[in-house]
Structure 1
């Protein structure tokens, strides 16, 4: 007789609100029964709540009062629901909500649910799919291709949750038993049924006695994915001669069989990049939107790397862009050339997992929820990752804190003490970089490696800098500093006292009775007091500041403004104690090195953890030194706080004003050929501003502007409303109301599909408030940065999911987002993107230029705004077939001399001005043409 299969009831509720403790009611109940990984039964019913359903719930669920008026009351179906739950395990997506709400409703009608085992599919998915961006049900359905006909209706949600649960169980059953065994032990503190589920699968797999597939290996009880160092092959199947002619390039494209378009601009860019490398020249190339910029430099770079048998560095602005280049462009490059391309993606070492630290942390029985879930996630991730790069993992904020204990920081003790050295991810990534044709990095790593002299990157003389308009800014960040009250307090708490579990108490366990420990304990008490005194003085200064904005320039260039003797004394006291603590920790670490042979494994890992802490501590001490020592000519130091001026929000930001000399002398002069490219490098077809910012004014350069292939004259229009109030002098609320009225009318015309770019958060929030009150926009999804939850990437994805959507964004939406096709048909620019004059860094830059007798507006404010405007403009037309309207509400574009700089720096687009009636007619005519 076979074993009886367990029965799972997958439940979803729709309710009048999310507060079970209040008077909210269930309006729909659905259950899907799962046995043996099969869906065997479904049940769903609407429920009359005997109260109005709020409009936002109706909008979210598409459940109307008509659906509910003849539906049964909860007490009419309560017994049926209890029968469905009988002898089952209760599963839901965010189980606490559904379970708590159902219990409350049962109690209300005089019934009770017997105690049940619970499984949360959010928790399960977080553990088993560590790299997924979002664990919302709709996003998981998209990720796994589940059909989700009616999101936010209980029957559809319950069915998708059941499919998700089955997929998770199948993944669990496909994992090696060694992984499940570890998970069973670690999961014990979880309050749900998961530890029991893991144990059942472990027992089942034990009975099957499976062999470990070749893709995995097991070391010291941990299962990891196999990886292999690949060395460059210079004898390749493809010809090594660079395809200079158009015919040769077309032949490559044809052979690749990829959906590539022959673009003469892209081919020109390829030739210029190859020429610059061959002639050992630096180059500035502005490549208009649609050129295919990345392939424009990748193709010549790989031919050059193969011909010369040396690496070419490819650097871009962010980790995300790095990954996109590696995953999208490198495989395409292999297809095109026929080469066996060795490309590697390299990041700073603290992006990589230290396996020895992680193994030892698994033995710690920390019951904190985020710690338990992070350990489980990483066990799964280790069976999948070949890089060990934590950017692949979606960590919670608690998980990120826990990550600090297992991130890689190199080795303090001998590498031989690390039993994982042969499998080390960081070492592997460095080895890959040493053997690569192309090494893909980000600007921060490239510049920190260069300025610090660490030499993590292979020796190189040729580099491509993509997103080059950010290169000077990235260099400035490397030469600047950032301190905050929270940061200092976080490290002080990590150090702790000689009480249980702190760094100090664990040092006491390894080095009992050491004199330095007691000196360290006294020093950290003193430092806590000294840091509080310093930040209290700073806090008093910022509260005394008359400005409504909570910021204060402490030092502007060399002029000491607010850093008086009292602050200097308090700061020096903090710095002395920082150095003292650093010295004591160094003594203890040295003792650890001397006793290296006698240390247990857990003690060895702990010494490495203390070393990691010391490295972070040294960086913070260096920031305090930079704050207190006599400043370089071009440094500004600002004190900032949140609007309420809370002590905990205090930040001290030191910014180097100019990096031209550092870049010229320490970087460009040491390289044979650096290609700098971006879609936004010129102003009015001139590179002077960017050349000065990069320190390339006096360098011999190849300069090229390659225009976009898109037909802007046919496919785009710029419309400038002339009946809006003047933004300057009009109260924010009044202007936002007028803007919301205008945008609402435009949105109806364009059926949403609109991105609105702001330069100020308060204006965005006010405009959103008024738009939410508009009846004509009730059926529109309005998403707003800083208000709607999610990163810019997540908000962009949500915007594309809805038929009628409006997206309001600030800083990060002016560049980097890609919404091709009809999903984005209207771009509204509220104000020309000049940096605010009260921003401390902007204020200091203007003062510096005035001091030199320059026109600060012409040499700084205007060029920066034009480059930003060009980035924003580039959001609209992303493909050859895209069409759209750009609305510029700032009439300075049209009424001032400098306004021409904006129009002259973008492609030729027909521009019209007028009052609202004319603007709306132009919009209607444009989109009517599109549909006809």
Structure 2
């Protein structure tokens, strides 16, 4: 099928540039030499250079717009949908080369890796189909690798099957019957667990007891609108994943119904996908029986991608679209966020357009899309309808329960892993925000593109006029809704508010909100650059007056939207001759999407009605100006449930027949009453069943907690020095947790270079231009590396072994003061409510440390003022010592340093300690 390119092409003549915190090197055919940052920038500006992760190299050189031939882009083109850790070591492994032993060898490796990848392009590799076609488009976009690849990739003898012709179509199936009513035999559950763990695995009684308790969630329901709810706290190491998969898979097999396993983090979703190999070793069977589901915004939209490929994107974003198209032809599921699209790929493109390639705007036209039969989202939805195990997330489960289109295939059994996050997920799901950002998105959804905008965005009339205008009522409703939407904020609204010239009733309302928030700033936060908020009580006259006008505008918008929804429902009921299956699916999708917006506008009206009116004790309402480093990015009114577990119970739990809520820290630092309140159990007719399994790890001998007493709060040099000395003493392998991004960045700036000179790389969330998932992959891959970050790293990070042997927290993780927190604190017991939150956060952070029986580690808390009452957050028997920094460093060096002393050397701690 393919012609053969010219053999024995010479290697690329370009130099390779590598920059790290320890220095800068360039490699040419003559050899490798070090150079200054300024010289490196001059060379890169004048000569094409080979790079690995150009944004990261540019950041380290102080030249963010650095360009060159990025080997990550070349790998993404040649090896789409393949995993690679984006480091020199990961690149060497992917190319079959010897990894470098220090930074000075990396530049030479880049030249060898480029030669190896280009040699691959000269052959017939598995992902060759479509490469020549894609390269032609990339050549027109002047992609730096086009010339080198063009010499090596031959034109196919016949036309290639490319993206849209290559993707398979999904097929409709008969509706799945309701699950059969069965009762699980405890003996069969134990046998299934034994099969999953393997005959040679050690028998763990705690895991067997856990599986037996979890099976109670799969018993037949006996009370209407009340599930069999099991709350199960299983300490780290119990093996709860296989513990609940055993009864879940057995029930799905015997009943013929699906079990939805919901997580909070994408990391656990990936882990569950890997565990599926134990259930179904055959890959084809596994794909059919286990399906991962995420929200629509996670999947590539083929219509958006087609638009980008046909000129909707320009510049570097157009190159990204071409590389995503290469990936889309080989992806397993089309998941762009946490799937098999490399997490590092979008970050290579500053101001990238990756989010525009997904359906984040709710503009899907369903069966009206030319790619509907190949849509990844629709394929996943249909696959999950016939699957045994559906791996989802808390947000998707709640969205589907509240406004999903899949009511006929709604599951009856749920497993909520990471159940301690259910309360927070419900809080986000059932909240209301009337802000500039939210309202401008609604305007765009209704009216379509603003003048001069690019892309495929279409308004309500363009999407629905052909079906809604079945009679005059539908057409009039669309026209009235579009006209009323012009009262919503439009482009440039923030600037107009800053200039005191709002346009329209909603912008006027937001201007009144802004004025009142700044007027009530009592702590000087306006000058500090932080976000501002104030309670929605005692509004001034300007806000009350603006609320009245805004109410009339939103009511004028809501009425035609409701009429249009009813008209679409009538079209479905009348079933005219032209309505085939795809047309019905399109209208059903439009009804669901429109219903979501109707509910949103209705909630906005209820929130505005609170201005000048009585407070509703069920809700917490406030006004806010959101800012980042002093720059305003949103303004609005907010409403949250005081207890979001109430709508969680009503919407998700009551319709289910059985629910298992499980976590290693389910009780959130309190007792079972806390777990029942935060899971929604207290709002059900029947009490939940409780189960607890202690961790089997020997914490007294595997871990210790050191509370450092002589690092003064607010002393940034002392904080940075503490982190540097502790990381050096452990020889890397440190997870550093911060409660503020500013302090994280300040510490990183002070210590990264010094640690790098001792061979201890420091990765940083919110600093390195790399996504969080990839940062964790790099951290896991290198036992000498350390990673610092914020809340996202405190939970859901699974790094067993030497790569994580020390956890350092900058201080006690007290909750951030806010209007919402103050209301819940008052309702939840005052300081005891704060203590529960802190205990849960400490327990979650400590849980990152010991992940398997042979792990060893230390947990360091840099806070002299740590109250003793909070220390029961750590496992019983764990040694807890209050000590000075010097003693803590020495303790870490003696207990952890020897494990890697042959690599780290004893000089690192001393050299940084002197600094």
* Residue number among 268, 271, 296 corresponding to 2:243 in the alignment: 296
Query: In the alignment, does 2:676 pair up with 1:691?
Result: yes
Partners of 1:720 and 1:889 within 8 A in 2? yes
Structural mapping, 1:362-373, within 5 Å = 364-366=310-312, 368-369=314-315, 372-373=318-319
Match of 2:271 in 1: 324
Match of 2:116 in 1: 163
Report the Cα distance in structure 1 between the residues aligned to 2:586 and 2:412, rounded to whole angstroms: 39
1:719 to 1:574, Cα distance in 2 relative to 1, 3 A: same
Structural mapping, 1:523-542, within 5 Å = 524=486, 527-528=489-490, 529-530=503-504, 531-542=506-517
1:465 offset after TM fit, Å?
Answer: 1.1
SS in 1 for 2:659: strand
Report the Cα distance in structure 1 between the residues aligned to 2:332 and 2:706, rounded to whole angstroms: 50
Match of 2:544 in 1: 565
* Residue number among 838, 841, 844 corresponding to 1:871 in the alignment: 844
Report the Cα distance in structure 2 between the residues aligned to 1:435 and 1:604, rounded to whole angstroms: 21
* Residue number among 546, 554, 563 corresponding to 1:575 in the alignment: 554
1:380 offset after TM fit, Å?
Answer: 2.5
SS in 1 for 2:30: strand
Partners of 2:484 and 2:553 within 8 A in 1? no
1:276 to 1:511, Cα distance in 2 relative to 1, 3 A: closer
Report the Cα distance in structure 2 between the residues aligned to 1:354 and 1:924, rounded to whole angstroms: 51
1:614 to 1:400, Cα distance in 2 relative to 1, 3 A: farther
1:868 offset after TM fit, Å?
Answer: 1.2
1:194 to 1:581, Cα distance in 2 relative to 1, 3 A: farther
1:629 offset after TM fit, Å?
Answer: 3.5
Report the Cα distance in structure 2 between the residues aligned to 1:349 and 1:194, rounded to whole angstroms: 33
1:441 offset after TM fit, Å?
Answer: 1.6
SS in 2 for 1:440: strand
1:811 to 1:478, Cα distance in 2 relative to 1, 3 A: same
Report the Cα distance in structure 2 between the residues aligned to 1:144 and 1:491, rounded to whole angstroms: 48
1:708 offset after TM fit, Å?
Answer: 0.9
1:866 offset after TM fit, Å?
Answer: 1.0
1:763 to 1:271, Cα distance in 2 relative to 1, 3 A: same
Match of 1:106 in 2: none
Instruction: Extract unaligned runs of 5+ from structure 2.
Output: 59-67, 222-227, 467-474, 491-502, 902-915
1:492 to 1:183, Cα distance in 2 relative to 1, 3 A: farther
Report the Cα distance in structure 2 between the residues aligned to 1:175 and 1:597, rounded to whole angstroms: 46
Partners of 1:12 and 1:154 within 8 A in 2? no
Partners of 1:318 and 1:442 within 8 A in 2? yes
Report the Cα distance in structure 1 between the residues aligned to 2:820 and 2:856, rounded to whole angstroms: 38
1:874 offset after TM fit, Å?
Answer: 0.5
Report the Cα distance in structure 2 between the residues aligned to 1:373 and 1:715, rounded to whole angstroms: 49
Greater shift after overlay, 514-523 or 120-129? 514-523
Report the Cα distance in structure 2 between the residues aligned to 1:96 and 1:254, rounded to whole angstroms: 45
Report the Cα distance in structure 1 between the residues aligned to 2:11 and 2:53, rounded to whole angstroms: 12
Query: In the alignment, does 2:167 pair up with 1:224?
Result: yes
Match of 2:357 in 1: 403
Report the Cα distance in structure 1 between the residues aligned to 2:569 and 2:212, rounded to whole angstroms: 55
Report the Cα distance in structure 1 between the residues aligned to 2:15 and 2:96, rounded to whole angstroms: 23
Which string of whole-angstrom CA distances, capped at 9 and with x for unpartnered residues, describes residues 272-323 of structure 1? Answer: 1124423653211111111111101001111122223322221111344323
1:167 to 1:491, Cα distance in 2 relative to 1, 3 A: farther
Match of 1:840 in 2: 819
Partners of 2:214 and 2:244 within 8 A in 1? yes
Report the Cα distance in structure 1 between the residues aligned to 2:871 and 2:411, rounded to whole angstroms: 38
Structural mapping, 1:795-806, within 5 Å = 795-802=775-782, 804-806=784-786
Partners of 1:817 and 1:875 within 8 A in 2? yes
Match of 1:310 in 2: 257
Query: In the alignment, does 2:901 pair up with 1:915?
Result: no
* Residue number among 22, 25, 31 corresponding to 1:45 in the alignment: 31
1:716 offset after TM fit, Å?
Answer: 1.3
Match of 2:322 in 1: 376
1:527 to 1:537, Cα distance in 2 relative to 1, 3 A: same
SS in 2 for 1:912: strand
Match of 1:264 in 2: 205
SS in 2 for 1:877: coil
Report the Cα distance in structure 1 between the residues aligned to 2:534 and 2:328, rounded to whole angstroms: 47
Structural mapping, 1:777-816, within 5 Å = 779-802=759-782, 804-816=784-796
Match of 1:706 in 2: 693
* Residue number among 723, 730, 744 corresponding to 1:750 in the alignment: 730
1:457 to 1:147, Cα distance in 2 relative to 1, 3 A: farther
Match of 1:112 in 2: none
1:751 offset after TM fit, Å?
Answer: 2.1
Match of 2:229 in 1: 282
Report the Cα distance in structure 1 between the residues aligned to 2:147 and 2:592, rounded to whole angstroms: 37
Report the Cα distance in structure 1 between the residues aligned to 2:688 and 2:488, rounded to whole angstroms: 55
Greater shift after overlay, 528-537 or 770-779? 770-779
Report the Cα distance in structure 2 between the residues aligned to 1:843 and 1:48, rounded to whole angstroms: 55
Greater shift after overlay, 454-463 or 499-508? 499-508
1:776 offset after TM fit, Å?
Answer: 10
SS in 1 for 2:334: coil
Query: In the alignment, does 2:659 pair up with 1:674?
Result: yes
Structural mapping, 1:457-606, within 5 Å = 458-486=409-437, 488-489=439-440, 495-497=448-450, 520=482, 524=486, 527-528=489-490, 529-530=503-504, 531-544=506-519, 545-549=521-525, 550-555=530-535, 564-569=543-548, 571-572=550-551, 575=554, 579=558
Instruction: Extract unaligned runs of 5+ from structure 1.
Output: 19-24, 31-42, 62-72, 75-81, 101-117, 213-217, 850-854
Structural mapping, 1:164-203, within 5 Å = 164-168=117-121, 170=123, 174-176=127-129, 179=130, 183=134, 186-187=137-138, 189-192=140-143
Partners of 2:444 and 2:459 within 8 A in 1? no
1:302 to 1:769, Cα distance in 2 relative to 1, 3 A: same
The RMSD of aligned alpha carbons is 5.2
Match of 1:115 in 2: none
Report the Cα distance in structure 1 between the residues aligned to 2:569 and 2:649, rounded to whole angstroms: 39
Partners of 2:304 and 2:357 within 8 A in 1? no
1:121 to 1:584, Cα distance in 2 relative to 1, 3 A: farther
SS in 1 for 2:844: helix
1:367 to 1:163, Cα distance in 2 relative to 1, 3 A: same
Query: In the alignment, does 2:835 pair up with 1:862?
Result: yes
Report the Cα distance in structure 2 between the residues aligned to 1:97 and 1:763, rounded to whole angstroms: 23
Partners of 1:225 and 1:383 within 8 A in 2? no
1:262 to 1:410, Cα distance in 2 relative to 1, 3 A: farther
Report the Cα distance in structure 2 between the residues aligned to 1:423 and 1:17, rounded to whole angstroms: 43
Report the Cα distance in structure 1 between the residues aligned to 2:34 and 2:285, rounded to whole angstroms: 66
1:352 offset after TM fit, Å?
Answer: 4.3
Report the Cα distance in structure 2 between the residues aligned to 1:123 and 1:597, rounded to whole angstroms: 51
Query: In the alignment, does 2:718 pair up with 1:738?
Result: yes
1:826 to 1:386, Cα distance in 2 relative to 1, 3 A: closer
SS in 1 for 2:662: strand
Which string of whole-angstrom CA distances, capped at 9 and with x for unpartnered residues, describes residues 409-439 of structure 1? Answer: 6656xx4x66655444344323322222222
Report the Cα distance in structure 2 between the residues aligned to 1:509 and 1:480, rounded to whole angstroms: 28
1:191 offset after TM fit, Å?
Answer: 1.6
Which string of whole-angstrom CA distances, capped at 9 and with x for unpartnered residues, describes residues 131-188 of structure 1? Answer: 4677956354445554342656432211112222333565788544xx4575366446
Partners of 1:757 and 1:809 within 8 A in 2? yes
Partners of 1:230 and 1:342 within 8 A in 2? no
1:628 to 1:331, Cα distance in 2 relative to 1, 3 A: same
Partners of 1:747 and 1:753 within 8 A in 2? yes
